[in-house]
Amino acid sequence: MNFLKRGLLSITRRKGKSLILLAVLFILGNVIAGAISISQATANVEESIKDKLGTAATVELDYEELESMDESEMMNFEIQNLDEELINQIGELPYVKYYDYNTTTYLASEEIDSYNGMEEEDGEYIEQGMGMEFQLKGVNYAPVLDIEEGKSNLVEGRVFTEEEIENGTPVAIISKKLAEKNNIQVGDTLSLMNQIYEFSESGEEEITDSRDVPLEVVGIFEPQTVNTDSENQEQADFMDMELQNTIYVANEIVSQEIKYSVGDQAEYEDYFIPAFVLNKPEDAEAFEEEVTPLLPELFIVRHATDSYESIAAPIESMSTLSKYVLIVSIITTILIIGLVVLLFLRDRKHELGIYLSLGESRIRVIGQIVTEVLIVSIIGMTLSLFTGNLLAQTVSDSMIDNDNNNQREEQMYYSEMQTDLTTDDVLEAYEVNLTGEFILLFYAVGIITILLSTLIPLIYIIRLNPKKIMM
């Protein structure tokens, strides 16, 4: 009789033992399926969120390291600025798709009103600041990096030309809400004011000098909506107000206005904040390795994806735990199934001895046992495929809630690479699905595990002596 047919008959004739093996495989299969489900879901979240974070990188001070210095070290430490030559050197690296560097200042205006989205209950606008409400943001990259990267959309007009950036032409790109509030169109000229403040003997701040800064509007942009946790809505409103009152100009214009404000009181050196967009995420490590030796002391490379760990703590802890659970469950499955099958084989040693004494090869006997185990295993795995997936969803929801409740606030340092993505965005991206990739991976892991678990029984069969058994 064919050993495959014998294996099928053995399963049906030994229903009790087959059901015991099926139950054990079903329970262990649930654990394996759940662990694989969570591991795959977290991997998909990481890929999705990091794709949204983009490939941007910057060079900035390591504020944590600076904070750890004692008072004497800090007094003797002189912070160096990043000069244009170094930024351009980094920007020419093959990993960089395009780059920009910015300098900013704040100006006032007597002709236009700043946008303020925060309103009091009676509908009146809350006045903020001391009159310097407009952020003049200088750029060196004519297409404007924020627009190129999709952080803002150009809704009217155009971006800068290379000649306008090089010559410091007084042209600007303003926000849609600012334009609407002041009825400004593309082609209009708006007038800002650079004011110099000094404290009087009475302690009051007075304007001692000022000059007009006329700018022709060549484009209107609309920033993306700032996304944040509902608990931080006030912070979101403030960030949105800051974006709406941002006016893009050439770096040269900002430098001229800062020099005017400083005057003869101090020697002014431009302070630039660089932003590098890499060709692909895989370039991040090589980019950092090549850039780090070029940087002044205490300057480090930060990537947009660095913030993933801070906003994805629940997912990261779940990913780590699922990997441990998968490893332990595979080892446990190998040991338990191996011992269960071995015990069943000991009860069948006379049957196996008869096969061998009748001339059946050990390979065919082994094939029969493997067939029996695999058939029961595939049935058990198929049943656990669906329940394990549901188990993974239930367990992961519980773990996420627990992690969110136990998260502690940590000291945060401002970084140009901060993102408006939040933990809620990460959790929304987390989804346990029964995908084709998951099914194939589950069956592959399961079958390999079952085959490994038959190694112990196979050794038992190989060592069988049919003469001793039949005596």
DSSP per-residue string spanning 423-459: HHHHHHH------HHHHHHHHHHHHHHHHHHTHHHHH
- 254 and 372 part of one domain: no
Q: What percent of the chain has pLDDT over 70?
A: 75
- 118 and 263 part of one domain: yes
- 120 and 266 part of one domain: yes
Its domain, for residue 24, covers: 3-51+312-470
Q: Where are the alpha helices (DSSP H) in 54-169?
A: 63-67, 71-76, 84-91, 145-148, 162-167
pTM above 0.85, yes or no: no
Contact 341, 24 (CB under 8 A): no
Report phi then psi at 193, rounded to 5: -135, 125
- 42 and 113 part of one domain: no
State the pLDDT confidence band at 437, using cuts at 50, 70 and 90: confident
Overall residue count recorded for the chain in this entry: 471
Full DSSP string of 147-174: HHTTSEEEEEE----HHHHHHT-SEEEE
CA-CA distance, 160 to 182, in Å (whole number)? Answer: 22
Q: Which residue has the higher pLDDT, 212 or 426?
A: 212
78 domain-assigned: no
Domain boundary among 239, 270, 301: 270
Helix axes 455-462, 313-347, angle to 10 degrees: 20
Please tell me the least confidently modeled range out of 69-78, 169-178, 205-214, 418-427.
Answer: 418-427
Q: In this predicted structure, what is the pLDDT of residue 159?
A: 96
Q: In this predicted structure, what is the pLDDT of residue 428?
A: 65
State the pLDDT confidence band at 411, using cuts at 50, 70 and 90: very low
Contact 174, 190 (CB under 8 A): yes
Domain boundary among 215, 250, 270: 270
291 domain-assigned: no
CA-CA distance, 315 to 319, in Å (whole number)? Answer: 6
326 domain-assigned: yes
11 domain-assigned: yes
Average pLDDT over residues 251-264: 87
157 domain-assigned: yes
The answer on pLDDT for 191 being more than 90 is: yes
Q: Which residue has the higher pLDDT, 27 or 432?
A: 27
Tens digits of per-residue pLDDT, 81-109?
Answer: 888 999 999 999 999 999 999 999 999 99
State the pLDDT confidence band at 212, using cuts at 50, 70 and 90: very high
Q: Which residue has the higher pLDDT, 3 or 210?
A: 210
Domain boundary among 270, 298, 330: 270
Tens digits of per-residue pLDDT, 219-244?
Answer: 999 987 655 444 556 666 777 888 89
The answer on pLDDT for 189 being more than 90 is: yes
- Return mean pLDDT, the chain: 79
458 domain-assigned: yes
Please tell me the least confidently modeled range out of 16-20, 106-110, 166-170, 378-382.
Answer: 16-20
Domain total of the chain: 2
The answer on pLDDT for 269 being more than 80 is: no
Q: In this predicted structure, what is the pLDDT of residue 407?
A: 47
Please tell me the least confidently modeled range out of 61-65, 111-115, 149-153.
Answer: 61-65
The answer on pLDDT for 180 being more than 90 is: yes
Residue whose entry in the numeric block shows the structure tokens 């085959």:
451
- 210 and 351 part of one domain: no
Q: Which residue has the higher pLDDT, 4 or 46?
A: 46
- 118 and 235 part of one domain: yes
95 domain-assigned: no
The answer on pLDDT for 74 being more than 70 is: yes
Longest CA–CA separation in the chain, Å: 117
Residues 6+ apart with CB under 8 A from 395: 34, 38
CA-CA distance, 419 to 311, in Å (whole number)? Answer: 10
Strand 205-223 vs strand 189-199: parallel, antiparallel, or unpaired? antiparallel
- 189 and 257 part of one domain: yes
- 32 and 113 part of one domain: no
Q: In this predicted structure, what is the pLDDT of residue 209?
A: 84
